[in-house]
Amino acid sequence: MSRAVLAVNEDRSGARALPPDVAQRRLGQRREMLVLQAMSYLLGDIVLWIYAYAGTVPIAIPVTFLLCGIGLNGLFAALSETGASDRFEDHFLTTPQSASNIVLQLGFLLAAPEIGYLFVSVMFVIFGFASLRMTSREAIILWALTGAAVSAIFLLQKAPIALPTATTAEWLAAAFSFFVTIGQCAYIGLFGSSMRKSLHQRTVELRLAYLRIEELAQTDELTGLPNRRSIVKMLDDEIARGHRGKPCSVAMIDIDWFKRINDGYGHPAGDEVLRTLAITVFANIRANDRFGRYGGEEFLLVLPDTARDEAGPIVERLRVMIAELDWKAFAIDMDVTISAGLATLAPEDSSDAILARADRALYAAKAGGRNRIAVDRL
């Protein structure tokens, strides 16, 4: 995920300033929702015109309904297009939109109770769609207020809340309204399914990103080997096994005269030496051995299930292999050797203790002339 997507700044007015790509994506989502709402009002108005044609309701009802729908949609479209919606956590303004649409339906339920079923069914659709985005608290409050308002209308309205089907036109209007309502409910189901799939996909992507971050946090960027923290953790695990009776040896490996390599051939050549050594050693150790970069030109080799007598020949073989590599590919007069200090796990040893002994052995190898192995004789 890019840094731009995550960045949310505040402008001088205190409003959140979103990155352009985020703002554009949100605007597109809001436009899609507003278009769907406009289509719903248009379809509902068609039903009202059929009832007006049948003489069930006056023509003023479909005309007013359409104008109210246009006005309400226009208001939220203006808030969306100007970016005012982005000032809120829920940039869709789900609760205000749902509440205003429900108030509109309640108004027409009072104005035309003879076709009241139509406005009641639309409120179910509004609630179904809004519940996908509202918080539990918002949904409960809106449900309680709407329920109280509908109950009051049912109790106080003298005219019955009806579903007229006496004439062919009224039957057609009722059938068409139910067809539209079922379609809207189906869309809500599909929309919810799409949201779940999208959420699942985002969860998978976040999990993969988290694993990648963990991997990067444990890997040395230059060599691709485990970094210091990671290789020491591996050592701790092997020490725990060693305290249960399994032998374990550790080799601290250092590139001889590495500063001279950097100074004489340049840091890019030094980096290539580090990478080549890492690849060579890693390719020539056992599957259960652990090898990582300890820091700078120092590397740590952990040899599980390996006593001192077995560890010495293993590290010596690696020392000879490094010395015999054709380093002239980097510079015509380049030679690279390593020194190593070897220590074997003692009872009650901690990682710090065995590393200190391996480090002392490494310094002994350097003091002895380099390009050699020194063994700690605890």
- pLDDT digits 0-9 by tens, 49-99: 999 999 999 999 999 999 999 999 999 999 999 989 888 888 889 999 999
Give the DSSP H/E element, type plus range, for residue 296: none
Percent of the chain with pLDDT over 70: 95
User: What integer is the mean pLDDT of 16-34?
Assistant: 84
* Residue 162 burial (CB count, 10 A): 15
> What is the DSSP track for 5-40?
HH--EE-TTS-EE--HHHHHHHHHHHHHHHHHHHHH
CATH of domain 228-375: 3.30.70.270
Nearest to 264 by CA among 327, 221, 320, 322: 327
Within its chain, how far is the Cα of 40 from the centroid? Answer: 34
- Rounded Cα–Cα distance for residues 327 and 316 (Å): 19
Pairing of strands 298-304, 248-255: antiparallel
Residue 12 has pLDDT above 60, yes or no: no
Residue 322 has pLDDT above 50, yes or no: yes
- Rounded Cα–Cα distance for residues 155 and 46 (Å): 29
- Rounded Cα–Cα distance for residues 176 and 54 (Å): 14
Give pLDDT, residue 16: 54
> What is the crossing angle of helices 116-130 and 94-111, to 10°?
170
Contact yes or no for 343/324 (Cβ under 8 A)? no
Between 9 and 179, name the one with better pLDDT: 179
pLDDT digits (tens, 9 = 90+) for 178-194: 898 888 888 888 877 88
pLDDT digits (tens, 9 = 90+) for 38-51: 999 999 999 999 99
The residues spanned by each domain of the chain are 3-214, 228-375
pTM across the whole model: 0.57
